[in-house]
A and B are shown apart, each in its own frame.
Chain A
């Protein structure tokens, strides 16, 4: 299978006065089309920096980034803009919705930069919002929506262009666990539908459900493998809100909410399952 993403010796160094911050140190990594990959790691380990590079929002200090086989470093600013528009859907940790625009207008925005006529934009944006379960909230402004609804608007905006790569930086970071669960379920559905997804998360139980997870530490890849293994081993010592008290750190199974098939009905079975 050809690699959709290939990072080749990518470094990112921030210079703050005399001090140098090495956010990414020599990262080499491939992600194939159709994969669902989690990025985990402690705060400050370089996850967002890597996502920004993957999303063509930032350029590496050195190294090459091949997206779909072409070297992103050789592209002009305009070409990068087009690439972001066509190939990439980015879900930001802080939603990054335009506050004065309705949910529908927010979702339409990437289609504006694709030059679609208004009617097509509206049809596609409505479809995307319906897909994330917000058919009845289209005309609401972001401040009239709950956090989870905003996140879903942000996801709809990332999906509306049918990107070949969906990037999500802590899409559940601001949400309670139930809403986070809903979002993750949505991503699983998208993955099952064939989308390539790279997702940053702090929650090990979510990463554990991804077929693949990559652990970053101090700007380096320290682990790469099935989500269940990569996500759970080192964090087992850390308390997690979902583990509940009294559960042993090594009790890996406690986090395993089941196989990531997740074609669950929207009403959710949490109450019944208890």
Chain B
């Protein structure tokens, strides 16, 4: 038993010495073959890292909406290519808002918001592409906004439709670098607005700053920008009553709009859950595509390994004969060439992993995508490439092992 173990160990160390020796002898060949595997592994790792980065930022963002929030808008926030069906839906307006406020029993909060994009100016300075939101005091609670300086919109601001504005962190800093934003005025569209508060920084998601926003009372917004796009209504359900709240909202709005039973809803109630599940579905598809691409390139790399190994077996036919004549068993020869394949593919896997991580890092520098390499992905890539080596090395190695000693020795 001990003898067998020792023999296995001695043969293994000899085989690995041989395998690495063979790879060292043909450096260029080794590098090119390993490159085939490396590209496959790098692709998988880079794509997986990007998707996983996307995933975590999106999930964070959606979860920030809160599990109890519902958003009422004409169209679903996520449409699956069927936007055509929604194009004629009526806007959501004050009537719907009032109907919900008067009749809902499962809602803790009903907040309207109207949105547009525009520039915010202070003298010659201006920031473009700011999201301008007309809303009410409860928006802060519903959207998890926190005030850093000054105050948020109050019911008084709303009722009097005062020309006041709360700015996101970026805006405040860019227009008032010296920090004297509060009490100052900015021009949005044709009107001037007094700054009453600055929000805490929220950061960016997928390259889009969450801090380039300006909030004002809904009626002020209507006066400045019109309401032709209607409102989005954010509703927050009472604790553990989301499902009831959703049904209730649908009932109230159908009644308000006097929809006969046979007519489908002409509005959409969006929930975080739906967003998440849609997103998971979408990234699931991406994962499948990445997996497919990686698999294909690994197969291509594997064929490269098989090819090189067949060459290597041919070149060393006589050597195989000598080894067999001197007492090497079939499995020893098999092991020697499998090790060579394994070394090749692991080399590829190692560099592929490094390359993939690097590519993901570069992607997150150059694009808004925040790549994140899960350790499990790296492990998977390495294991995958190693098994590619074994799988594609098996046939050439078996070819080598089953050679008859005489014939191998006679090979020219």
Q: Which residues of A contact B (CB under 8 A)?
A: 52, 55, 57-58, 77-78, 81-82, 84-86, 90, 92, 96-98, 100, 109-110, 112-118, 157
Contact = CB atoms under 8 A, between A and B. Distances in A.
B327 A98 contact: no
B248 interface: no
Contact of B406 (A57, A78, A118): A57
Contacts, number: 74
Interface stretch (B2-10, B164-172, B191-199): B2-10
Interface string B316-357: 001101111111111110000000000000000000000000
Given A96-B409, A113-B327, 13 more contacts: A52-B406, A58-B404, A77-B329, A81-B328, A82-B327, A84-B405, A90-B325, A97-B322, A109-B322, A110-B326, A113-B332, A115-B6, A117-B10
Interface in B1-42: 3-4, 6-11, 14, 21, 25
Contacts of A58: 404-406
The interface residues of chain B, by DSSP majority, are classed as: helix
Given A112-B10, A113-B11, A157 B21 contact: no
Contacts of A116: 10
Contacts of B14: 112
Contacts of A90: 325
Contact of A109 (B3, B9, B21, B326): B326
Interface residues of B, number: 29
A115 B326 contact: no
A85 B329 CA distance: 10
Contacts of B328: 81, 113
Top 7 nearest A-B pairs by Cβ distance?
A85-B327, A115-B7, A113-B327, A110-B326, A58-B406, A57-B405, A81-B329
Interface in B177-202: none
B320 to A, nearest CB: 11
A111 B323 CA distance: 11
Contact of A117 (B6, B8, B11, B21): B6
B10 A78 contact: no
12 contacts: A55-B325, A77-B329, A78-B331, A81-B327, A92-B409, A96-B322, A100-B21, A109-B326, A112-B11, A113-B327, A115-B11, A118-B10
A11 to B, nearest CB: 16
Contacts of A117: 6, 10
A80 to B, nearest CB: 9
A98 B25 CA distance: 14
B412 to A, nearest CB: 10
Contacts of A118: 10
A73 B25 CA distance: 39
Nearest to A58: B406
A87 to B, nearest CB: 10
Contacts of A57: 324-325, 405-406, 409
A78 B319 contact: no
A85 B326 contact: yes
Contact of B325 (A86, A96, A115): A96
Contacts of B319: 98
Nearest to B409: A96
A96 B3 contact: no
B327 A114 contact: yes
Interface string B271-288: 000000000000000000
A109 B323 contact: yes
Nearest to A95: B322
A171 to B, nearest CB: 15
A78 B7 contact: no
B327 A110 contact: yes
B231 to A, nearest CB: 80
A157 B6 contact: no
A48 to B, nearest CB: 9
Contacts of A97: 322
Nearest to B329: A81
Contacts of B7: 113-115
Contacts of B318: 96
Given A96-B318, A100-B25, A84 B325 contact: yes
A57 to B, nearest CB: 4
Given A52-B406, A57-B405, A98-B319, A81 B10 contact: no
A81 B14 CA distance: 17
Contacts of A114: 7, 327
B233 to A, nearest CB: 79
B106 to A, nearest CB: 77
B2 to A, nearest CB: 10
Contacts of B325: 55, 57, 84, 90, 92, 96
Contacts of A81: 324, 327-330
A84 B326 CA distance: 6
Contacts of B331: 78
A96 B11 contact: no
A175 B8 CA distance: 38
Given A57-B406, A113-B11, A78 B330 contact: yes
Nearest to A82: B327
A115 B25 contact: no
A117 B11 CA distance: 10
Contacts of B6: 115, 117
Nearest to A84: B327
Contacts of B25: 100
B399 to A, nearest CB: 15
A98 B329 CA distance: 17
Residue of A82, A98, A112, A116 with most partner-chain B CB within 10 A = A112
A113 B15 CA distance: 11
A41 to B, nearest CB: 19
B371 to A, nearest CB: 44
Interface in B253-282: none
A114 B8 CA distance: 10
A78 B322 contact: no
A120 B330 CA distance: 24
Nearest to B8: A115
